[in-house]
Amino acid sequence: MLYSQTTGVGPNLVLLHGWGFNSDLFDSLIEKYKHQYRITKIDLPGHGRSDDVAGGLDEWCDEIIKLLPKKPILLGWSLGGLLAINLAKKIKLSKLILVASTPNFVQNSHWQYGINADNFQQFSNALSLNLSKGLKRFVSLQTQNKNQLKTLSQSIDALPASASALNQGLEILLTSDLTKHFKHLSIPIEATLGSRDTLVPHAIKQWYSNQNISVSLLDTGHLPFLHNDFKL
């Protein structure tokens, strides 16, 4: 069973976090928007308070679907964005919001807007050596807000992801290419990118614009939603 928590009033907004973290990462965003949206945060399989789910991208999404309200706005950050794109072909959404995310995280012969696979593997290997320390250092490079850092560090320590979920998540990130599917989506889509993001090159802004998608580029790294200028 996956963990979820719903707060607020208004249109249904569902938040999906990224690899290695948990949904508490969104608490400051929820506090900011709980009077405008009915917000559901979900811990991904094997992350936070959620049980492991066997399989990969589709199996994870099938479990997430069980928790989704009817025709929600779906916001996905990083790995959560990849899951959200896949969910968009399975169920009806009113809007898709991608934050520091992409339909393909890894470069290949026809996709220049990803990270080199070897570099990505080195990054994930370094984190895996000491996940808690690695994630906390990663967050410290994204925000200077001491209260945010303290809260996020406590959450990382208290709710670590399982080893199997980390491996599954990396496999999804390394092997999923949803670019063709993405081009056929007919729902409203918005994207927010960080100009200093080392995992999702902000050059993808032009590709998104070519797909008639509204894009915001903030002066941030890989966690734009922690920035004061981030808006829903």
Q: pLDDT (tens digit, 9 = 90+) per residue, 81-96?
A: 999 999 999 999 999 9
pLDDT at 113: 92
Count how many domains the chain has.
Answer: 1
Range(s) of the domain holding residue 22 = 4-226
Is residue 123 in some structural domain? yes
Determine the pLDDT at residue 148.
67
Mean pLDDT of 151-160: 80
Buried b (16+ CB within 10 A) or exposed e, 3-25: bbeeebeeebbbbbbbbbbbbbb
Residues labelled catalytic: 78, 197, 222
Mean pLDDT for 14-22 is 93
Highest mean pLDDT, choosing among 57-71, 115-129, 187-201 = 57-71
132: domain CATH number? Answer: 3.40.50.1820
Name which of 98-112, 145-159, 183-197 the model is least confident about: 145-159
**What is the rounded CA–CA span in Å between residue 64 and residue 139?**
25
pLDDT at 97: 98
Residue 129 within a domain: yes
Burial class (CB in 10 A: 0-12, 13-18, 19+), 128: middle
How much is the pTM?
0.92
What tens digit of pLDDT does each residue of 166-191 get?
889 989 998 999 999 999 999 999 99
What is the distance between the alpha carbons of residues 25 and 18, in angstroms, rounded to a whole number? Answer: 9
Query: Residue 145 is encoded by which pair of tokens?
Result: 């807000």
**In this predicted model, what pLDDT tens digit does every residue of 208-229 receive, in sequence order?**
999 999 999 999 888 899 888 9
Strand 4-8 with 38-42, pairing: antiparallel
Please report whether residue 232 resides in a domain: no
> Is 231 a domain residue?
no
